[in-house]
Amino acid sequence: QTIDLKDYKIPDYYIETVDLHFELGEKQTTVRSRLAISRYSEAKAPPLVLNGEALELLSIQLDGQVLDKKDYQQNPESLTLFQVPERFTLEIETRIYPQDNTTLSGLYTSGGNFCTQCEAEGFRRITYFLDRPDVMARYTTTIVADKKKYPVLLSNGNLVAQGEEDNGHHFAKWQDPFPKPSYLFALVAGDLARIEDEFVTRSGRKVALHMYVQSHNRDKREHAMASLKRAMAWDEQVYGREYDLDIYMIVAVDDFNMGAMENKGLNIFNSKYVLAKPETATDTDYENIEGVIAHEYFHNWSGNRVTCRDWFQLSLKEGFTVFRDQQFSADQGSPAVKRIQDVNHLRTYQFREDAGPMAHPVRPESYVEVNNFYTMTVYEKGAEIVRMLYHLLGPEGFRQGTDLYFDRHDGQAVTTDDFVKALEDANALDLSQFRRWYSQAGTPELRISRAYDAEKSTYTLKIKQTCPPTPGQPHKAPLHIPLAIGLLDSQGEDLPLRLAGETTAVTGTRVLELRQEEEAFVFHDIPCEPAPSLLRSFSAPVKLYLDLRDEERYFLLAHDKDRFNRWEAGQQLAVKIILGLVKDYQQGKPLVLDSAFIETVGRILESDEPDQAFVAHILALPSEHYLAEFMAVIDPDAIHETRCFIRRSLAKALQELFAATYQALTKTGAYRRDPKEMGRRKLRNTCLGYLMELDEPDIRSQCLQQFNHADNMTDVIAALSRLVDIEGPERKIALQTFYDKWQEDSLVIDKWFTLQALSRRQDTLARVQELTHHPAFKLTNPNKVRALIGAFSQGNPARFHDPSGKGYGFLGDYVLKLDPLNPQVAARLVSAFNPWQRYDQNRQELMKAQLERIAKTPQISKDVYEIVSKNLA
């Protein structure tokens, strides 16, 4: 059963107010809702169809009258009232079982506490409702529960009443003054510790900031709170957006399907994105927490005040909010490093999605299960689209556009088109061609050739754009693409750029606007043949083909003013070298690593570049997944072996330098977490990683030393992640020590699972299978599933794609085990098969067999079914 964008119709009925009354119990919960409903059309009186799933209907009353059975019809997914007046009050009582709700959608329990997840369609698992984002209502929520077990009772908005009832119960009543869609509803009840802080908005509103965690985690809240305050200040400065309620609450829960949720005034987070202290969280964890806290906060405007008309518009809030959180994080540290991380992520996972059977436009046209469309494409490519608009409009034009957007659509449920229209109107610009980015799937390809004419002093770039076919879209129209470029002279300086017909030249990066399938740009007064630095800072989410000579790439790596492109030049060199060696490997030839490459890596290590995180990124070889993108038939063994060979060869050739750098970067003074120290740790651990490629007892014991004596999780994990690959006794010792020390800390144990799932060792699958029986592993906890099974199947291509098919069988088993419990997470797992047609015959058949086996299993969820059937189509 497919839902299509073209079938969108405005609702027949609106709900103006919602009064909810929850009685939370140990076995069951009753929900009473009183809805004030009005009909939209006065002419006709269509039936009222409310959504509802897994609900026990206890009673319905219309304007105080109990409804007769013949007046309505109940289906597993809906409740239809055949005849209703123009305006009326509907009271519905339902019973639900949150303690048994393993889907983690709707109302459920986690660690003994009640919490909710309503996006996208969880509210219908709480009560019958018009569960669609364009129905916006004002909510009042009363929660009644045992006072001892559930001292904390929370919902959206402001607390307006609380008190005691008899038999040990108490209640709290919350009122949210802002109309909102049901997906932003939230409720929390439990025994939670709270820290309080305060933020004063620039117009003087005092906002109470409350963060709730389980009491054993009270010492891990500071970073999230500090991040929240930075995000609130940043959104005022950069977007002019202020917070609008007197209280902002964040609750951390251990069982959560995604990262976090922006419920109005009451964010609920996966505890992974809240809890941190140096002993338990890595620098990456800290960065992720800051990013997700900011992301959810920014949704208050891009998502809540202005929301989505329907779920096809999801990128309206997600693409824009991801772009906003990326900008925020870039402002907190090194913008170049942040951009490198984001582009790496996009090219590794979104490009793969765009090239497979699940490829879809940023504004999808149809879906079976909307939860399957919380994708890299909607989020990350969506953010790239907003970034391109930023490049095209410039910072001021973009800000004028977003001001108009927020102003014009405040309180409304709108479309991605409304967003583009606001930017267009604010800048008197025509973005009609640009809109194709929202409707066309697939990663566009740019093929660029260049020619220098010494006599005329002109330099010509000829650019051809294409986009490969994707499911349902055989032909693509040309896109409007911002291509940021610079041309470097022999000193590495940016040349002034003047196009034909222009009177003045622009020095520094300039943005070319591509619109045609083929076009040429001619630059004048170019004194000598320049080195082209194209697609600076990755100004568009495209694949660029330009046959630079190796010397040119080495030159750009050393000199480009655009730091992203310096890194990119190094990546391109590495890709080329690795792919060349992959061929040799496949043909059984001996592998030899290019000496120019080794020398360059050495020079980079010795350079005095102050941004050490940036250096570490340059030294990192492209990931196995990214390399796979370049192969017609993916050969996971060849990629893995070749990549390991290069790391080993670099380690051998530059051993002294790596060792000296490792020593030189030894910490002086107390632990700190600032950009400089994080960069130092990153570069030092990069050196350790290379050194550990050498099978030497001295290095192993040094690694074990670091593992044993580090005062922070970043250095511990860096060491342990190398030790898990080796044969020696250090591996067992370290793993056991780590487990013994951290067994009480669930998030740290997730790391322990992941490291083992990612190990290069031949016996990794066997070990992973064993770990599924470990007492700390729980199939009902999504973090555990992702840490072990997700990491193995999505992050360890060499072992997952074992030619025997054992890895595939293992994944198939777990998809089937998990699906009846939690279809959303099962659907994420099964997606590891998406690129199956990119592999050799043998692997294709083995993966297909698993897909078929899952497809024919009776009672499979529509979440998993949609993915499997699109794979087999």
| CA–CA distances in Å: residue 213 to residues 117, 220, 255, 272 | 17, 9, 13, 12
From the list Zn ion, ligand ARG, none, partner contacted by residue 421 (C-beta under 5 to 8 A by kind)? none
Residues that bind ligand ARG (CB under 6 A): 117, 119-120, 257-258, 260-262, 295-296, 318, 371, 374, 824
Residues facing residue 30 across a β-bridge: 23, 95
C-alpha 300: how far from its chain's center? 18
What span, in angstroms and rounded, lies between the C-alpha atoms of 508 and 212?
A: 48
Q: Give the shortest CB-481-to-ligand ARG separation in angstroms.
A: 27
Element (H, E) at 291: helix 283-298
| CA–CA distances in Å: residue 475 to residues 466, 469, 736 | 10, 6, 56
Nearer Cβ to Zn ion, position 13 or 269? 269
Q: Give the shortest CB-539-to-ligand ARG separation in angstroms.
A: 25
What span, in angstroms and rounded, lies between the C-alpha atoms of 82 and 429?
A: 48
From the list ligand ARG, Zn ion, none, partner contacted by residue 678 (C-beta under 5 to 8 A by kind)? none
Strand order across the 113-117 sheet: 106-110, 113-117, 187-190, 152-155
User: What number of other Cβ atoms are within 10 A of residue 586's Cβ?
Assistant: 12
Nearer Cβ to Zn ion, position 291 or 812? 291
Q: Give the shortest CB-114-to-ligand ARG separation in angstroms.
A: 17
From the list Zn ion, ligand ARG, none, partner contacted by residue 120 (C-beta under 5 to 8 A by kind)? ligand ARG
Stretch that binds Zn ion, among 250-258, 316-324, 541-549, 849-857 (CB under 5 A): 316-324
Closest CA to 415 of 51, 827, 744, 10: 10
Q: Give the shortest CB-129-to-ligand ARG separation in angstroms.
A: 17
| CA–CA distances in Å: residue 470 to residues 355, 367, 378, 517, 801 | 7, 16, 16, 18, 25
From the list ligand ARG, Zn ion, none, partner contacted by residue 730 (C-beta under 5 to 8 A by kind)? none
Nearer Cβ to Zn ion, position 99 or 288? 288
Q: Do 330 and 322 meet the contact criterion of CB atoms below 8 Å apart?
A: no
From the list Zn ion, ligand ARG, none, partner contacted by residue 313 (C-beta under 5 to 8 A by kind)? none
Residues facing residue 383 across a β-bridge: none
C-alpha 478: how far from its chain's center? 28
From the list ligand ARG, Zn ion, none, partner contacted by residue 207 (C-beta under 5 to 8 A by kind)? none
Tokens of 341: 């991380």
What span, in angstroms and rounded, lies between the C-alpha atoms of 830 and 211?
A: 35
Nearer Cβ to ligand ARG, position 537 or 831? 831
Contacts of 514 (CB under 8 A, 6+ apart): 446, 463, 465, 478, 479, 480, 481, 482, 483
Is residue 296 annotated as part of the catalytic site, yes or no?
yes
Q: Do 691 and 662 meet the contact criterion of CB atoms below 8 Å apart?
A: yes
Tokens of 143: 């929660």
678 three-state secondary structure: helix
Residue with tokens 């907190």: 332
Q: Give the shortest CB-238-to-Zn ion separation in angstroms.
A: 18
Tokens of 440: 């066309």
Stretch that binds Zn ion, among 315-323, 457-465, 679-687, 748-756 (CB under 5 A): 315-323
Residues facing residue 288 across a β-bridge: none
The footprint of Zn ion on this chain (CB under 5 A) covers a number of residues equal to 2
Nearer Cβ to ligand ARG, position 122 or 356? 122
Closest CA to 442 of 475, 416, 409, 415: 475
What span, in angstroms and rounded, lies between the C-alpha atoms of 620 and 348?
A: 14
Q: What is the DSSP letter of 473?
A: B
What span, in angstroms and rounded, lies between the C-alpha atoms of 306 and 318?
A: 12
Nearer Cβ to ligand ARG, position 648 or 862? 862
Nearer Cβ to ligand ARG, position 186 or 431? 186
Nearer Cβ to Zn ion, position 321 or 746? 321
From the list ligand ARG, Zn ion, none, partner contacted by residue 251 (C-beta under 5 to 8 A by kind)? none
* Touching Zn ion, residues 461-480 (CB under 5 A): none
User: What number of other Cβ atoms are within 10 A of residue 580's Cβ?
Assistant: 13
Which entry of 53, 119, 287, 296 is annotated as an active-site residue?
Answer: 296
Q: Give the shortest CB-328-to-ligand ARG separation in angstroms.
A: 14
Stretch that binds Zn ion, among 178-186, 314-322, 548-556, 691-699 (CB under 5 A): 314-322
Q: Give the shortest CB-122-to-ligand ARG separation in angstroms.
A: 7
From the list ligand ARG, Zn ion, none, partner contacted by residue 310 (C-beta under 5 to 8 A by kind)? none
From the list ligand ARG, Zn ion, none, partner contacted by residue 374 (C-beta under 5 to 8 A by kind)? ligand ARG
Closest CA to 422 of 452, 441, 401: 401
Burial letters 495-522, b for 16+ CB under 10 A, else e: bbbbeeeeeeeeeebbbbebeeeeeebb
Stretch that binds Zn ion, among 75-83, 320-328, 671-679, 709-717 (CB under 5 A): 320-328
Nearer Cβ to Zn ion, position 318 or 552? 318
Q: Do 114 and 24 meet the contact criterion of CB atoms below 8 Å apart?
A: yes
Nearer Cβ to Zn ion, position 318 or 730? 318
Nearer Cβ to Zn ion, position 324 or 352? 324
From the list Zn ion, ligand ARG, none, partner contacted by residue 538 (C-beta under 5 to 8 A by kind)? none
Q: Do 31 and 21 meet the contact criterion of CB atoms below 8 Å apart?
A: yes
Give, in degrees to the nearest 5, the angle at Cα 601 between 597 and 607.
140
User: Which residue numbers are catalytic?
Assistant: 296
Which residues are near Zn ion by CB under 5 A? 318, 321
